[in-house]
Structure 1
Amino acid sequence: MAEKLFLEVVTPQKAIVSEEVEIVVAPGSEGEFGVLKGHTTFLTSLKIGTLRYKDTKGKERFLFINGGFAEVLPNKVTILAESAERRQNIDVERAKMAKDRAEKRLSEKREDTDIVRAEAALRRAVHRLKIK
Structure 2
Amino acid sequence: MDEQLTIGELASRTGVATSALRYWEELGLLPAPTRVSGQRRYPPSAVELVGVVLLLRDVGFTLREVKAFVASRSPDGDGWRELCRRKLAELDRRIARAQAARTAIAHGLACPHEDIFGCSNFAGVVTARLAGSSLEEAHSH
Same fold (TM over 0.5): no
Q: Which one scores higher on RCO, CA 8 angstroms, separation ≥ 6?
A: 1
Larger radius of gyration: 2
Output the TM-score relative to the length of structure 2: 0.30
